[in-house]
Amino acid sequence: MACRSGGISINRQAAVREGLSLDLSLHNLDFNEWRDVLKNLHSGTGENVSTPSVDRGLAQYVYPRYFSIDAGEVVAMDMWLTNARLNGTHQEGLWDIDVRSEQINGRLKWMEGAGNTADGKLVARLKSLNILQSSMKKVSDMTGREDIYRIPSLDIVTDDLTLFGKHLGRTEIVANNVSFKNGREWRINRLKITNPDAALESSGSWVTTAGNRQQTRLSYVLNIKDAGKLLARFGYEDIIRRGRGEMKGDISWDGLPFALDIPSLSGKLSLRVETGQFLKADPGAAKLLSVISLQSLPRRLNLDFRDIFSKGFAFDEITANAGIANGIMRTENLKMNGVNATVMMDGSVDIRQESQDLHVVVIPEINAAAASIAYGFINPAIGIGTFLAQMFLREPLMKQFTHEYHVTGSWSDPVIVEVKAGTGK
């Protein structure tokens, strides 16, 4: 068969090699529009535009085999790149691309969909991946809604992931598509994020059933090496000093994996953090943490243990179990042990409304006998009322040192009422 070759160049000198070559220098390039043009070329032929081959008539002439592209903006599927340089090849449904841009730096392999992998597969080994909020909006504006609801199989490793300006660290994700009767599942086999402050391991799924009903589920374990630095990594600086431990659980919500829906958020979690200190910080910086740290108590009440909280509560250990249903988190046994006090909480927190209904017990100086009872408080079967009854039975004088509060209202403007010790209300 005779060798066919040709080249297309814009603002560059053409390089002619076997097959079609592209050498382009453009302000912007939209591969999605090119895909639509090819789809129109194939309409009525019965050919699948996503899986061309050299024997499929017109496709061999319009799909490039080699390409070198410089562009100020590039849109391809759900990616939007700026100041991009792409060099690569395309053959038998496989795109092999070296990418340099402000968002992605590394090597991509895109395997076009066919058969059981109709959504395709993306394999990437990247030095850096920077996902900007502006790029997410740009893509959603420029692609059809059907594109947003389809995610290909993924095998991605990046040495440095930056998400919306936050440096998360080394990231690995492996996911694939599974079809079943009346639905499909995007299965997250492995999601791992590691940095000097923490390591997250997670797995889960995104299921779409008949009627386009969607649900995302995740199981996770977060190993915390330094809670303060981890929060600072997300922009919440000077909230906690030190703190190491673990948080794990299972959560689910309605909708897409990258769009957390608080009203439908449900699941459970457990937390254990040791050796840290809450710092005196603006409650607006991390509102939920300001609730737990009790920094609002000294502002609202003239307490004889003001220094314990107003200067930042130092804790030896924080433990808790919690359940979440429709965006409302409930706990029966949050406990903070410190040198100068022990704090216990039960009640609920409405994450969507940023409000609370909590029963808080503060014991400024807890002795060894009471501490032995408090040790078992993390058991979900032991609530605050049971704990107080046992403690006051053994140590009647501890009732004089125990303070109880009912905390309601919003996170930013809580309503705090002191109640009689030992009532459990």
**pLDDT tens digits, one per residue of 203-251:** 999 998 877 789 999 999 999 999 999 999 988 888 889 999 999 999 9
Rounded-to-integer distance, Cα 236 and Cα 217, Å: 26
**For residue 377, what pLDDT is reported?**
56
Percent helix, strand and coil across the chain, each rounded to 5?
20, 50, 30
Tokens of 104: 């992605």
Higher model confidence: residue 7 or residue 125? 125
141 burial type by CB count under 10 A (0-12 exposed, 13-18 middle, 19+ buried)? exposed
In contact, 122 and 155? CB cutoff 8 Å: yes
* Structural domain for 399, as ranges: 261-425
Q: Is residue 352 part of a domain?
A: yes
**How many residues belong to the chain?**
425
Residue linked to tokens 């948080």: 247
Asked whether residue 198 is domain-assigned, the answer is no
For residue 243, tell me if it sits in a domain.
no
CA atoms of 265 and 398, how far apart (whole Å): 39
Please check whether residue 91 lies inside any domain of the structure.
Answer: no
Q: Which residue has the higher pLDDT, 111 or 31?
A: 111
CA 152 to chain centre: 19
Domain-located, residue 49? no
315 is a domain residue: yes
Spatial distance between the Cα atoms of 280 and 260, rounded to a whole number of angstroms: 29
Give residues with Cβ within 8 angstroms of 396, minimum separation 6. Answer: none
| C-alpha to C-alpha distance for 200 and 126, rounded to whole angstroms | 19
Lowest mean pLDDT among 105-114, 284-293, 380-389: 284-293
Q: How does strand 121-131 pair with strand 153-163?
A: parallel
User: What is residue 286's predicted lDDT score, i.e. its pLDDT?
Assistant: 63
CB 328 within 8 A of CB 349: yes
Residue 244 lies in a domain: no
Beta strand extents in 364-402 (DSSP E only): none
Q: How far apart are CA 219 and CA 142, in angstroms?
A: 33
Q: What is the mean pLDDT of residues 128-147?
A: 61
User: Model confidence at 400, in pLDDT bands (50, 70, 90)?
Assistant: confident
- What proportion of the chain, given as a percentage, has pLDDT over 70? 75
Q: Are 396 and 362 in contact (CB under 8 A)?
A: no
Q: How many domains does the chain have?
A: 1
**Which of 280, 282, 291, 344 lies closest to 313, judged by CA?**
280
Tokens of 298: 């000294």
pTM of the model: 0.82
Angle at 55 between CA 50 and CA 60, to 5 degrees: 65
pLDDT at 197 > cutoff 90: yes
Give the N- to C-terminal CA distance of the chain in Å, as an integer: 88
Task: Quick: pLDDT tens for 323-377.
Answer: 999 999 999 888 888 877 788 899 999 999 999 999 988 887 666 555 555 555 5
pLDDT at residue 53 in the model: 43
Residue 114, in any domain of the structure: no
Does pLDDT of 50 surpass 50? no
